[in-house]
A and B are shown apart, each in its own frame.
Chain A
Amino acid sequence: MEKLPFMTIVVLIGLIVRWTVSLHSYSGAGKPPMFGDYEAQRHWQEITFNLPVKQWYFNTSDNNLKYWGLDYPPLTAYHSLLCSYVANFINPDWIALHTSRGYESQAHKLFMRTTVFIADLLIYIPAVIFYCCCLKETSTKGKIANALCILLYPGLTLIDYGHFQYNSVSLGFALWGVLGVSYGWDVLGSLAFCLALNYKQMELYHSLPFFCFLLGKCFKKGLKGKGFVLLMKLACTVVASFILCWLPFLSEREQTLQVLRRLFPVDRGLFEDKVANIWCSINIFLKIKDILPRHIQVILSFCFTFLSLLPACIKLTLQPSPRGFKFTLVSCALSFFLFSFQVHEKSILLVSLPVCLVLNEIPFISTWFLLVSTFSMLPLLLKDELLMPSAVTVMAFFIACTNSYSIFEKISEEELQLKSFSISVRKYLPNFTFLPRMIQHLFLTSVMAMVLLTLLMVTVDPPQKLPDLFPVLVCFVSCLHFLCFLVYFNIILMWDSRNRRNQKKSN
């Protein structure tokens, strides 16, 4: 199988799916007065084009922060500025100050969709292709199949090209970062990751693994010699990139503080709207959002988050390896998603990206996770009238994965990388042989539950006393799944070295 033509074909399929999804509706379409994320992005182009930099993050007469105020770091603002210049060239009405609020037209939609398409094409897609081409111990066919499955992941496509966002930029930069540090280009990798962080502050979910991995590398090289040099280089890179991105906002202390206040809205509470994490799920039974005072909530989420990700991070610092790095990314991002403060349902994409990276190692569980991650965003997608593209892209992804990896055959203990864990458990429980079968049954139940809930949400009206019944059910079910996945990925990480030893023995 020749690589170049088939990789081209995979990229073309990915682009076709993306563009056809973009023909559908977007968030807040035709819904005044607030509209949705699409209007927010248009508004940021208006703000960055018409107002001086000093006013971008401040509440002024020209810039009402309550109407989609900027709440992403400066790189997003610069990107909006770039887009606004093009918009102004084509039609100044699109970004005229004040008068362009709620502007909607076919031409404008085409322009906005094109900006997402170009950003994706320049940043995310090359990263995915490069990643798949650099995979070791994989045949050409495996690399191409991997690329196809990652590009067909429905969650990112539906949010970026349906709902309307620019996640592909930050995730793309993060992926370049992963590539860089995994293959020895540490400085470039950390530069890419800093760009990702400065585009969306949610990338902080990935920051701890990067930090621990690089720190571990420095320790390995010896803190007295090369390791120290590397540490200094990295520190300088990070500081320099942050200073460059934040330059206009570093002149006054108030500017910097205001931007930070916009990025981390601590006043907004433990969670907003329905999200598939622990706090929202507990809130169904025990109204912790109302019972506990705000600062206790912050401390509680902080503690739980760090407790859950600590084992993985410590292990990565002591034994840095690209494989461990990828799994730690998954585990940390998932911990943050489940336990952190002010999590939005779209943040699951930050977990999905690392899971895509381990797709070729544990195809069955990864496919399962990626399906659940898309399902967890279902209430949002239905609100945006994206049912048809959601159903189609999920099925396409499922078909691609089943045919690429024969996932239904890869459910033995060894394939699930649970062999050494099972051996350890069998020391205490000799009958612990049912794990693969149990996982099989769980998968079937899970798929049936997801399909059933989707059908219910689409066809049936919720009872009047519980208008949010279905979104809450979706979040609760997804949260249960995510908790199990968190346990699973941590098990793999902890028993990792023993797995390797066993694999070598069996080979």
Chain B
Amino acid sequence: MAALRVATGGGHWFSALALGVTLLKCLLIPTYHSTDFEVHRNWLAITHSLPLSQWYYEATSEWTLDYPPFFAWFEYVLSHVAKLFDREMLNVRNLNYSSSRTVLFQRLSVICADGLFIYAVHECCKCIDGKKASKELTEKPKFILSVLLLWNFGLIVVDHIHFQYNGFLLGLMLLSIARLFQKRDLEGAILFAVLLHFKHIFLYVAPAYGIYLLRSYCFTANKPDGSVRWNSFSLARAASLGLIVFIVSAVSLGPFLALNQLPQVFSRLFPFKRGLCHAYWAPNFWALYNAVDKLLSLIGLHDKWFGAAVRAHSPSNRDALGHLHLHTACHIGPKGFLRCLILCALSAFMFGWHVHEKAILLAILPMSLLSVGKAGDASIFLILSTTGHYSLFPLLFTAPELPIKILLMLLFTVYSISSLKMLFRNEKPLFNWMEKVYLLGLGPLEICCELIFPLTSWQPRYPFTPLLLTSVYCAVGIAYAWFRLHVSVLTNPAARRTKKQ
């Protein structure tokens, strides 16, 4: 009986939550999957059938390998399990091969890889202090955080319907954050270094790690007011950090360096030819710029120099804003680091080059950790997550998935708003009237875009209008969240104290 009880998570709420969401993921196996499914099948085929020297040169399929080597090795390991399901998927020439066993294998691989994510969430919950915890389980910050992370709408929809492997990658990131919170800095550093070689998009948040580790790990002592004691620099620690980064990079890129393939690998990883905006506009600053641009051109006020000037400055924009945040991490501990990381991710999303809408998850998930701490953070998180999640809607454009995405979105939104409101019920309300109106506006927007617009006569002539509207509407919300986060960091009391000096 005891074994049965444990197996069904009867003993602990965390297991029940984790099991529950895993079962939901299993039910999503037959849903629509995007071209990313073929991407990963192709990578399974490449890594299994071809020698190492061909991995970054193979171009039979248009979906060439454009992730760092550790991910390629991950696909290689998976391919050995894949051959037990269906050998045909490992043939490089079998483009768009998607037999039922292939789908089953790929979906199960994502679900199993999420095991790392579940472990990371468990570790993150340990870092939350339960000072405000009430006796009621559903009002404990740990419980709320677990649900917000495990049942995150964006992650479920992007990983288990659209098809990607963000779960275990974000799990690695959350685990490294948890280690930094637990003062196990070296482990956090190793995990992040490994993560970078899995998916290089995490370079966006590397500055936050770099500055924080330099400040908190390499400089071992503080002055009484909290600022750094410059003469406490530990060369040994700095060297160990450098060594870690070096060893990880060597393991990852070493074989390709030996084959003189590094330029090819980097050209695959950083394809700058692709253009400022993705096929579908991520709801960032460039979406707003594009919308204004289009509007001006429609009215006839389009200035040619306006566009060119912005394009020339965009790569450096990202760096400039990054540096603005980094100095704040110099003064506050792990919580400040987390805030800085989120700002880096969000700024990169707002101003980055060829940003995918899915990149918003990089900001939303770490933000969940802050949301159960302060009411102000909870408010920013709710705006960011609701608009960020809504911006993922156009990814699932098929009719059978329409009820799923609406119901799941409602589930997450209702839960997050009601639980955070309950947690901070003794403080001022989470939303002012403008924010409430904006968030409620998402409902009519969805009805217009998906139900009314397809039936109007504008649909054949301007088929991209719903995407444009969604993008621009969400960009407003995300920009607002970005701005408020900035303000909250810069008006932090500790920062103010050091600025006076």
Contacts and interface: CB of A to CB of B under 8 A. Distances in A.
Interface of A: 1-2, 5-6, 8-9, 12-13, 15-17, 19-21, 23-24, 106-107, 110, 117, 388-389, 392-393, 395-396, 398-399, 402-403, 406, 408, 440, 443-444, 447
A87 B414 CA distance: 34
B254 interface: no
A487 B6 CA distance: 31
Contacts of A402: 5, 8-10
Given A21-B27, A396-B20, A12 B411 contact: yes
B430 interface: no
Contacts of A24: 30
Given A12-B407, A16-B404, A20-B31, 5 more contacts: A19-B407, A24-B30, A392-B23, A395-B8, A402-B5
A23 B31 contact: yes
14 contacts: A1-B138, A1-B139, A5-B414, A8-B410, A8-B414, A12-B407, A12-B411, A12-B414, A19-B403, A20-B31, A23-B30, A396-B20, A403-B13, A408-B4
- Interface SS of chain B: helix
B440 interface: no
A110 B9 contact: no
A21 B404 CA distance: 11
A103 B298 CA distance: 48
Nearest to B19: A399
A23 B422 contact: no
Nearest to B403: A19
Contacts of A392: 23, 26-27
A117 B404 CA distance: 12
Contact of B418 (A2, A21, A403): A2
B447 interface: no
Interface string B402-441: 0110011011001101100010000000000000000000
B10 A440 contact: no
A23 B16 contact: no
Nearest to B138: A1
Nearest to B9: A399
A2 B422 contact: yes
B23 A403 contact: no
Contacts of B410: 8, 12
Interface in B384-418: 399-400, 403-404, 407-408, 410-411, 414-415, 417-418
A16 B30 contact: no
Interface-centre pick from B136, B407, B410, B415 (highest chain A CB count, 10 A): B407
Nearest to A5: B418
Contact of B28 (A12, A20, A117): A20
Contacts of A15: 403, 407
A117 B19 contact: no
Contacts of A398: 8
Given A19-B404, A117-B403, A5 B27 contact: no
* Most B Cβ at <10 Å: residue of A8, A9, A403, A443: A403
B158 to A, nearest CB: 17
A162 to B, nearest CB: 11
Contacts of A9: 411, 414-415
Given A20-B24, A408-B5, A388 B29 contact: yes
Contacts of B403: 15, 19, 117
Nearest to B31: A23
A241 to B, nearest CB: 33
Contacts of A395: 8, 19, 23
A403 B16 contact: yes
A480 to B, nearest CB: 21
Contact of A388 (B9, B19, B26): B26
A19 B31 CA distance: 11
Interface string B278-290: 0000000000000
A110 B399 contact: yes
Contact of A16 (B8, B411, B417): B411
Contact of A23 (B20, B139, B400): B400
B97 to A, nearest CB: 21
Contact of A444 (B1, B30, B418): B1
A10 to B, nearest CB: 10
A399 B8 contact: yes
Interface in B320-343: none
A106 B10 CA distance: 40
A151 B19 CA distance: 18
A17 B10 contact: no
A174 to B, nearest CB: 26
A409 to B, nearest CB: 9
B324 to A, nearest CB: 38
A12 B19 CA distance: 18
A443 to B, nearest CB: 8
Contacts of B414: 5, 8-9, 12
B424 to A, nearest CB: 14
List 5 tightest A-B contacts by C-beta distance, closest first. Answer: A5-B418, A20-B27, A402-B10, A12-B411, A402-B8
B358 to A, nearest CB: 21
A444 B4 contact: yes
A389 B27 contact: yes
Interface string B157-185: 00000000000000000000000000000
Contacts of B24: 16-17, 20
B1 A1 contact: no
Interface string B18-53: 011001101111110000000000000000000000
Contacts of A403: 8-10, 13, 16
Nearest to B399: A110
Contacts of B31: 20, 23
A443 B403 CA distance: 38
B233 to A, nearest CB: 51
Interface in B328-383: none
A19 B28 CA distance: 10
B411 A13 contact: yes
